[in-house]
Copies of this chain bind each other. A is one copy, B any other.
Amino acid sequence: MIEANAPVTMSDVARVAGVSTATVSRVVNGHYGVSARTIARVRTAIEQLGYESSLVASSLRRSRTNVLGLVAHSFQSFTAEVLKGVMKALSRSGFDLIIYANSDLYGSYSEGWEQRHLTRLSGTLTDGCIVVTPWGEVRSRTPVVAIDPVRGSTAPSVTADNLVGATTAVEHLLGLGHRRIGFIAGRDSLASAWSREEGYRAALAEAGVPVDPTLIGRGDFNPESATPLARALLRRADPPSAIFAASDGMALKVLEVARELGLSVPGDLSVVGFDNIPESASTEPGLTTVDQSMYQLGYEAARMLKSLVTGEWDEPNQLVLPTSLVVRSSTAAPKSAARQ
């Protein structure tokens, strides 16, 4: 056995090649001022020892690392889909990606996680970060792009056209004949939650249907938060004939509750979600939802961040992407439609 598994460092290479670590560094980074013969010697030593530079050590001293970061507090379908888009945008770009996710020691929805992670990374490791569904405005030495930012943020962000998406979804229900339409809202610090509720109200107003505040449940985008809300809505003496949930994760929970209460969907209850996560297509019945191409969100965010880091961004830095309604089988005309 040549070597066990001791970590081979730059000074090991230097010793073997008979040069200083400074010279090794120059060779590794292709800097000027090393003779061809020395380069060859160093290269040989590197090869022989199987040396790889430590990302950590070099990022400590360097300003540019060519690593972009993504921080997220959970890994549900939303983030996973976003991630695919980010990876696509970064493919062959020269930037590597580091995703930092915490283990939720402080509780699943501890405020400020994104700031904590961001400062821990952006001090040195990354050239810039993407933050998914943050809790608040963040400050950072390096550029930050938010996916689904907080309300009123003016920082760079990428978001879906939540207002139009939600309006379309509710219009779809109205068009089917529904009049009592429940709504399960998202975490209200997020602009998306706000806009989706606005869309809900706007569509109702447009149709001349008064908003009944007792039909609105205050969720937080966490699927579990929807369960008690759905139960409360559906156990009423006068339950809504349709529920629009601000996210698919929550909408799927509504389906669960409906099943639990013996309600048939879409017979007794129509359900519409928002996001179009993969699970929504495979559930039974298929969930009618608003597609916001999370893949695209990730793709555009990564593209924006890349340009911000290299300093070549000129487009507006608040991107809004279109949505589209995907009609599946969780919606139908209400039983009492004829009555209206």
Contact = CB atoms under 8 A, between A and B. Distances in A.
A96 B91 contact: no
Interface residues of A, number: 54
Interface in A33-82: 50, 52-57, 59-60, 74-77, 80-81
Contacts of A122: 7
A96 B103 contact: yes
Interface string A81-94: 10110010011111
A98 interface: yes
21 contacts: A5-B140, A5-B141, A7-B119, A9-B123, A52-B120, A54-B120, A54-B123, A56-B60, A56-B123, A57-B60, A57-B123, A75-B83, A90-B103, A93-B103, A97-B100, A97-B102, A99-B99, A278-B278, A278-B281, A278-B282, A281-B282
B91 A104 contact: yes
A287 to B, nearest CB: 11
A105 B92 contact: yes
A285 B235 CA distance: 37
B124 A57 contact: yes
A279 interface: yes
Contact of A100 (B80, B95, B96, B282): B96
B59 A56 contact: yes
A139 interface: yes
A27 interface: no
A31 interface: no
A102 B98 contact: no
A9 to B, nearest CB: 8
B102 A101 contact: no
A121 B100 CA distance: 13
Interface string A117-137: 001111111000000000000
A6 interface: yes
A54 B55 CA distance: 14
B116 A52 contact: yes
Contacts of A50: 119
Given A96-B100, A278-B282, 9 more contacts: A6-B141, A7-B122, A54-B120, A57-B124, A76-B84, A96-B103, A97-B99, A97-B103, A278-B279
A335 B309 CA distance: 59
Contact of A104 (B60, B92, B119): B92
A96 B101 contact: yes
A238 to B, nearest CB: 35
Contacts of A74: 87
Interface string A198-225: 0000000000000000000000000000
A97 B87 contact: no
Interface in A103-160: 103-105, 115-116, 119-125, 139-141
A116 to B, nearest CB: 6
Contact of A84 (B57, B59, B80, B141): B80
Nearest to A84: B75
A263 to B, nearest CB: 23
